[in-house]
């Protein structure tokens, strides 16, 4: 058996992507940038500041903003996001996720959260899942975001477990890349077009099955 499971949050445990999208859209419209769903795809799994930089690139006249102004905008986006996130509850847990968490816990395998979101702890609490997690990576302490392996390495090192004995679950290509670079076993949730690098792929969270994952990991 593996010793640690490391979960991504957005897209794996719940769908906060829609809320991030609405918050960025509101911010972008406030500074006269038009922003659509397609562009939003590029922001998945990317940190708040990096996302802002990508959005500002849509309007070259905004590239001259200084750091203080950028931080203000990022804070504003987070205010919008937190407002929307108020409504998050148990029903927002994606299908199959709590069942998987239960199975892992039963085997005394450690569970960690490796999200790029600084709001991750708060969201997990609202979802009613806090008691499953032995460790939540503090995204504000991560120097290099996904696809860098740092997020996953921090989680494994917290437990002092060899990377080969860790399993990471991700919905973003950058996340799968990060898990693979950390020499962990990667489970992808999504399409083969997006996640062809995953060691094991399921099409959605309802297909996440403990025994099946262990079987593939042991092969
Ligand atoms: P925050 P994940 C990521 O979550 C989101 O996919 C991404 O869109 C968001 O910008 C990022 O968290 C940072 O979130 O503004 O709350 O710090 O997929 O890594 O769980
Ligand atoms: Mg994700």
83-135 per-position pLDDT tens digit: 999 999 999 999 999 999 999 999 999 999 999 999 999 999 999 999 999 99
Q: Are 168 and 152 in contact (CB under 8 A)?
A: yes
- The 8-class DSSP code of residue 55 comes to H
pLDDT at 40: 87
Q: Are 145 and 177 in contact (CB under 8 A)?
A: no
Give the other-Cβ count within 10 Å of 211's Cβ: 8
Ligand 1 centroid–CA 219 distance in Å is 32
Mean pLDDT of 35-44: 86
Residue numbers in the known binding site for Mg(2+) are 8, 10, 170-171
User: Residue 36 pLDDT more than 90?
Assistant: no
Helix (H, G, I), strand (E, B) or coil at 160: coil
User: Residue 38 pLDDT more than 90?
Assistant: no
pTM confidence score: 0.93
Which residues contact ligand 1 via a Cβ below 6 A? Answer: 8-11, 17, 20, 43-48, 51, 78, 115-119, 139
Q: Are 189 and 171 in contact (CB under 8 A)?
A: yes
Atom number in ligand 1 closest to CA 139: 17
Mean pLDDT of 171-193: 96
Mean pLDDT of the chain: 96
User: Taking the CA of residue 201 as centre, how many other CA atoms within 13 Å lie in the half-sphere pointing to its CB?
Assistant: 14
| Residue tagged 């989680």 (tokens) | 155
| Residue tagged 């499953």 (tokens) | 132
User: Residue 148 pLDDT more than 90?
Assistant: yes
pLDDT at 72: 97
Nearest CA to ligand 1 atom 8: 44
Distance CA 115, CA 169 (A): 11
Distance CA 29, CA 80 (A): 13
Distance CA 147, CA 181 (A): 8
pLDDT at 89: 98
Percentage of the chain lying above the pLDDT 70 cut = 100
Residue numbers in the known binding site are 8-10, 24, 43-48, 51, 77, 115-119, 146, 170-171
pLDDT at 124: 98
Distance CA 74, CA 146 (A): 19
ipTM surpasses 0.90: yes
Ligand 1 centroid–CA 114 distance in Å is 11
Ligand 1 centroid–CA 95 distance in Å is 20
42-96 per-position pLDDT tens digit: 888 889 999 999 999 999 888 789 999 999 999 999 999 999 999 999 999 999 9
pLDDT at 63: 79
């Amino acid at each position: 058996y593996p010793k640690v499971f490391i979960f991504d949050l957005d897209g794996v445990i719940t769908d906060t992507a829609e809320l991030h999208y609405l918050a960025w859209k509101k911010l972008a419209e406030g500074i006269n940038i038009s922003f659509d769903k397609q562009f939003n795809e590029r922001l998945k799994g990317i940190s708040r500041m990096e996302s802002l930089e990508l959005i500002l690139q849509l309007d070259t006249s905004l590239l001259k903003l200084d750091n203080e102004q950028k931080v203000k905008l990022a804070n504003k986006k987070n205010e919008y996001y937190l407002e929307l996130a108020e409504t998050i509850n148990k029903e927002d847990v994606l299908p199959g996720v709590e069942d998987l968490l239960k199975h892992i816990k039963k085997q005394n395998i450690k569970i960690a959260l490796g999200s790029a979101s600084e709001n991750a702890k708060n969201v997990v609490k609202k979802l009613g899942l806090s008691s499953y997690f032995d460790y939540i990576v503090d995204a504000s302490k991560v120097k290099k975001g996904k696809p860098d392996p740092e997020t996953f390495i921090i989680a494994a090192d917290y437990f002092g477990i060899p990377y080969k004995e860790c399993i990471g679950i991700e919905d973003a290509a950058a996340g799968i890349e990060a898990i693979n670079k950390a020499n962990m076993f990667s489970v992808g949730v999504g399409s083969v077009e997006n996640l062809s690098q995953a060691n094991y792929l399921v099409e959605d969270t309802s297909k996440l099955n403990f025994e099946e994952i262990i079987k593939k990991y042991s092969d």
